Amino acid sequence: MRLTLVGTGYVGLVAAVCFAKLGHDVIAVDREPIIRGLQENKLNIWEPQLEQELADVSAKGNLRFETDVVKASADADALMVAVGTPTRPDGHTDLGHIHEVLAQLMQSTTCPPFVIIKSTVPVGTCDELEASLLAAGLHTEVVFNPEFLRQGSALNDFMEPDRIVFGCKTPQAETLLRELYDGIEAPIHVCERRSAELVKYASNAFLAMKISFANMMSDVCEGYGADIRHVMSGVGADRRIGPEFLSAGVGYGGSCFSKDLQALLTTGKLIGRSLPLLEAVAKVNDQRIPRMIAKLISLWGNPLGKRLCVLGISFKPNTNDVRDAPFLTLLAQCERHGIEVQAYDPVVRQVGAKTVKVLESPYTAAATADAVLIMTEWPQFAELDWPYLLHLMRQPLVLDGRNLLPSGVISQIVDVVKAVYVPVGRPMECSLSAREESL
């Protein structure tokens, strides 16, 4: 199949590479600077194995790049749109990039017979887009095919998904989509477009709800001296619930959960439906970083002039994405309290904020710090030489915002270094001497 795909961000580039890997003839379209980099196999995103897979399909000729959407889609069987749909200040979804793509097609009066929207869009968007194309004299069916990729495992999620959702009107569109995904073994859920659009929002809202539930229960655990890990392990063992997304920590972030939750809340208001459960999900998540800062200040006393080492900048491991990362919220809180921040991340090398120093080594970041906070659960943080790292600090205080460190490392921190270890949703651990110093 000849497929033109517009947008080469996390979703678009992964989709282009995977469709090319399935044997389709794919042309990816984006702005000239981005395309120039991709032609040289230089990615502006970081995803495990993506660079090598891109090189492979490009060498085989299955994936090419173009900057002109009209030219690229002239002979295409379908056009897939995977551009960004950010949230506007008023809470509504910005569809400007999608409208820009379709405007170019309407101006040229040419369009493939099928336009596949993969970007996350509000309910009813596909209906509106198809009506606009029809009004311009273009008899094109718009279908919705949401993505369910997790950054850090996007390639595997694409090739081995839990399900594939088709939102379409005609059997012809369903046949085309089935041909497009031929070679991927997964249940296919076919429904009308509005239901498919809502599947995407509802899925992310439910996952965000599970995370906020775990974080809410972690506060209860701290109050009673219970262990959130054991509680959520017991809860997640129920097959009706499942163990995924029940880890307590600093809250969810990234480009999907907050954005999609806000879009769903805004959409509900448009039709006069309140969504109090989702409002509570957002409220619980918004409390995570302030609670972490409160813990830190309670241990320090006066935060002014203190130095904090933060391990992890990206919103999750195996990505360099910092969009809506909890780290950014933490940075703003630290600035308000006069706390100096030094940070390290395995792949993020700059943040664009003058209030933080991003350093080349976790040990350099920890030097002369008054506390270290694990913000992102990069597995390599558990393998650090913690006695040495804490030796470099002015005050041996560890806040494990992801409950990442194993018991053996915690024993080293508490019993050998005599440091204070502060996890999430379970009692703080410290040696007798450290406890006396904190009193």
Same domain, 279 and 297: no
- pLDDT of residue 241 exceeding 50, the answer is yes
- Residue 24 banded pLDDT, cuts 50, 70, 90: very high
Same domain, 117 and 260: no
Same domain, 161 and 54: yes
Per-residue pLDDT, 439? 44
Same domain, 292 and 282: no
% of the chain exceeding 70 in pLDDT: 98
Q: Which residue's structure tokens are 């170019």?
A: 104
Number of domains observed in the structure of the chain: 3
Average pLDDT, the chain: 94
Tens of pLDDT, residues 26-36: 999 999 999 99
Same domain, 267 and 302: no
- pLDDT of residue 363 exceeding 70, the answer is yes
- Does 18 participate in catalysis according to the annotation? no
Per-residue pLDDT, 91? 86
Tens of pLDDT, residues 297-331: 999 999 999 999 999 999 999 999 999 999 999 99
Range(s) of the domain holding residue 337 = 288-438
Domain stop point among 252, 286, 320: 286
Domain stop point among 286, 317, 332: 286
Domain stop point among 271, 286, 301: 286
Same domain, 146 and 10: yes
Tens of pLDDT, residues 60-93: 999 999 999 999 999 999 999 999 999 998 889 9
Per-residue pLDDT, 40? 86
Per-residue pLDDT, 45? 87
| CATH number assigned to the domain comprising residue 213 | 1.10.1040.10
Catalytic choice (126, 168, 221, 256): 256
Tens of pLDDT, residues 194-227: 999 999 999 999 999 999 999 999 999 999 999 9
Same domain, 165 and 66: yes
| CATH number assigned to the domain comprising residue 389 | 3.40.50.720
Tens of pLDDT, residues 142-156: 999 999 999 999 999
